[in-house]
Structure 1
Amino acid sequence: MQRNATTQFPILLVHGLFGFDRIGGFELFHDIKQALRTGGARVFIPYLSATHSNETRGEQLLAQIDRVLAGTGTARVNLIGHGQGALAARYAAALAPDKVASVTSVSGPNHGSELADFLEKALTPGRLPGHVARSIATLFADFISLLNGQPQLPSAAVAALAALTTEGVGAFNDKYPQGLPKHWGGHGPEKVNGVRYYSWSGTLRESTDTEPEPLQVFCRAFSEYFITEAGQNDGLVGRFSSHLGKVIRSDYPMDHMEAINPGSGKACRGTDPTALYLRHAERLRKAGL
């Protein structure tokens, strides 16, 4: 059955760290943009810095929101941010709530990422045992190489990690607390300053693939560095760390990359990531957004 994704306001799909229109060999939001458009939605993908602070990326998003509003003649937009894109969306909504109808966080590190904490320690000399630091730093560098084709670890990537640590996001949350739960693992307020807040995320599913995709392999390798949310993460972001506003669900069986690229695995058993976006567009439409 064709879903009605005709929202009142345009949808902006906001990419996270290292995101452009394409990452590696695949298009960001693979099939999702087309499915939403087929369902009747007006969809745009803003172009933000691949690696930068949450506030800088948020300012870039605000400028592009203005362009979308001018081009479409609408008064507001619906922001759906993946990963760090959720933080940019939150920033834009906090500063310009009159231009943002809703913010939806998809696998967003709204309370920081344990992986970012560990990576920051690994990249700081003396913070971790040498062999552990080398192991995770090499893993991260290989991951970046897969995403953007660069064999070295970009210095901007190292700087951007600070914005995603528990401490970095904590400082961000002190300034922009809209939609945050008051208690760990809870729901946040669904509406703040006229902006609706939603979130969903996944956890690593049991893999039966005999030849898993490289991105799946990295997500599983990174998940080993989670402590507080061990077994409750998507490889890059913890389940409860992702909570914001109305939590639709935070344990869909999918890893961090499958949330924007359903074709990255041979099968995303138990859920269809594209369908999540279509159902959410219907949810926004029914809410008058």
Structure 2
Amino acid sequence: MLRNTTLYPILLVHGLFGFERIGTFELFHDVRQALKIMGVQVFVPHLSAIHDNEVRGGQLLCQIDAVLRGTGAKKVNLIGHSQGALAARYAAALAPHKVASVTSVSGPNHGSELADYLRKALIPGKLPETVARKVATVFCDWLCLLSGTAALPQHALAALNALTTEGVGDFNDKYPQGLPQSWGGQGAEQVNEVRYYSWSGIVPSINLQKPDPVQDICRTLSQYFMTEPSQNDGFVGRYSSHLGTVIRSDYPFDHLRSLGRTAGKHAGAVDSVQLYVEHALRLQATGL
């Protein structure tokens, strides 16, 4: 007997270089299992690992149709991590009648300062850009081969350009649903009968007792942020992540740890997976 479940299925939408499964490793494993225990129908769509927001959003729309056909549901709840949030926003903007809610988890809804830095460092048409594109493409091809998504198109520079402040700004001009009217504010709770939510974190202070290599990488990357120094998760700025109802944007975890449980405990630590469980209950209470 299902209990504490949502009315509509949940799709966990991965971001840049994301995937559903490689061998026995699942990107959303902990989150997916926790939601399944609740009785929630959970799916992870197959999207290009590296491409722009609209291409990935179009792929997501096809996946939504497949889920609706397979489950008989009228709508889906979309939870997008990182660039996955932009794909989810695109799908909801084009087909609001198929989407009950969009939730952005560490999503670059106003662009990423890290992407800005990388774009400036790569001179268009010059050797560094060419090398970077080839390296990213080779890595992505290898990733897609292992994850069984090699047939999907990939475009490294299109992905990078789509994540810059300018690229996301152009995207937002076309798909503004749920965006705050002022920097650091909250967006509309509901647009075209689609509810919008977001949460994100900032890189916590160094844990001297139990080092975390992933967190150390994100802490290093966080130094390239100018607009939101010390207020970012290493990939996305705190206020840049805001969309719809902002649940919280300063959880003590980095960009990658918002996908699952942290490696160790530190002051103010939270269980990232529990946030997804709590959100499923929130959606249920809202009738979604």
TM-score range, shorter chain: 0.7 to 0.9
Could you tell me how far 1:217 is from its partner in structure 2?
2.4
Closer, same or farther in 2 for the Cα pair 1:25/1:183, shift >3 Å?
farther
Matched pairs, number: 270
Can you list the C-alpha shifts for 1:174-233, whole angstroms capped at 9, x where unaligned? 000000000000000000000000000000111215563432222111101001100000
Q: Do 1:209 and 1:266's aligned partners in 2 also have CA atoms closer than 8 Å?
A: no
Equivalence for 1:81: 80
Q: Do 2:18 and 2:27's aligned partners in 1 also have CA atoms closer than 8 Å?
A: yes
Equivalence for 2:58: 59
Can you list the C-alpha shifts for 1:65-99, whole angstroms capped at 9, x where unaligned? 00000000010000000000000000000000000
Q: Following the alignment from structure 1 to structure 2, what is the Cα–Cα distance between the partners of residues 111 and 5? A: 33
Equivalence for 1:117: 116
1:104 to 2:103 alignment: yes
Equivalence for 2:5: 6
Amino acid corresponding to residue 60 of structure 2 in structure 1: L
Can you list the C-alpha shifts for 1:23-61, whole angstroms capped at 9, x where unaligned? 799531231100000011100000100000100000000
State percent identity of aligned pairs: 64
Q: Do 2:52 and 2:155's aligned partners in 1 also have CA atoms closer than 8 Å?
A: no
Can you list the C-alpha shifts for 1:137-173, whole angstroms capped at 9, x where unaligned? 7xx97xx79x9599xxxx9333311000000000000
Could you tell me how far 1:243 is from its partner in structure 2?
0.1
What stretches of structure 1 of length at least 5 have no aligned partner?
128-132
Amino acid corresponding to residue 220 of structure 1 in structure 2: R
What stretches of structure 2 of length at least 5 have no aligned partner?
146-153
Equivalence for 2:193: 194
1:1-289 superposed matches below 5 A = 5-22=4-21, 26-124=25-123, 148=143, 156-209=155-208, 212-263=211-262, 265-267=263-265, 270-289=269-288
Equivalence for 2:149: none
Closer, same or farther in 2 for the Cα pair 1:62/1:119, shift >3 Å?
same
Q: Which secondary structure state, in structure 2, belongs to the residue aligned with residue 31 of structure 1? A: helix
TM norm structure 2: 0.87
Q: Do 1:204 and 1:235's aligned partners in 2 also have CA atoms closer than 8 Å?
A: yes
Q: Do 1:202 and 1:234's aligned partners in 2 also have CA atoms closer than 8 Å?
A: yes
Could you tell me how far 1:126 is from its partner in structure 2?
11
TM norm structure 1: 0.86
Cα RMSD, aligned residues only: 2.7
Amino acid corresponding to residue 267 of structure 1 in structure 2: K
Q: Following the alignment from structure 1 to structure 2, what is the Cα–Cα distance between the partners of residues 43 and 209? A: 37
